[in-house]
Amino acid sequence: MSEESRLREQITLLAKSIYDRGLTSGSTGNISARLSDGSILMTPTGSSMGCLDPARISHLSEDLEHLGGDLPTKEIPLHAAFYDTRAETGAVVHLHSCHSVALSMMPDIDTEDVLPALTPYPIMRLGQVKLLPFFLPGDPEMGAAVRGLAGKRSAVLLANHGPVVAGKELEATVYAMEELEEGAKLAMMTRGMGAIGLSPEAVAALRIKFPS
């Protein structure tokens, strides 16, 4: 099986897993992954992650010209911003997962690091997650906002919209996205309950041992 065929199958399999577990719904969310030649596979616009056809996944050149498959998601600028500013990026996942969106609307969250330090794995897989303001879906300014971070964040949360995670390869990126959603879920479940999180010393040690 060629690299492209393998990656098309992997996108389809992981997207269905995401959909089946309720991490995205309807035709929301999008995934992209970069091939070794620099071209990019991206889920098509208006498609459901629950029933993707591997052959119809969009194929874009390194310069984002449409090479084949269905037309890509309108969030191309968002994905491109991560590929352009983080050289190690091999995949980008964007969802509308419920708890992450809910957390993005809370008035008192830390916009520089939206997930409270309750468990180690979100810190290990994501580092600090930056809250970006609301943009209309498909607005190129989302990409501009990510570029403004100069490659310093592997994950952001779009206010009233959803999380975006970039990683070195697709499977690990999906796992990191799941940690973000689980971290947001835990934050919402324990909100206002005086939960005892990790100490500042523990957080500092995790960030040194597991840099994002």
Is 121 annotated as catalytic? yes
Strand partners, 40: 34, 60
Burial bucket for residue 29 (CB in 10 Å: 0-12, 13-18, 19+)? buried
**Residue in 192, 198, 203 with CA at minimum distance from that of residue 109:** 192
Options 4, 121, 169, 171, the catalytic residue: 121
User: Does residue 8 sit in helix, strand or coil?
Assistant: helix
Options 19, 75, 178, 182, the catalytic residue: 75
Q: How far apart are CA 157 and CA 113, in angstroms?
A: 10
Q: How far apart are CA 183 and CA 117, in angstroms?
A: 9
Is 65 annotated as catalytic? no
Which residues belong to the active site?
Answer: 75, 121
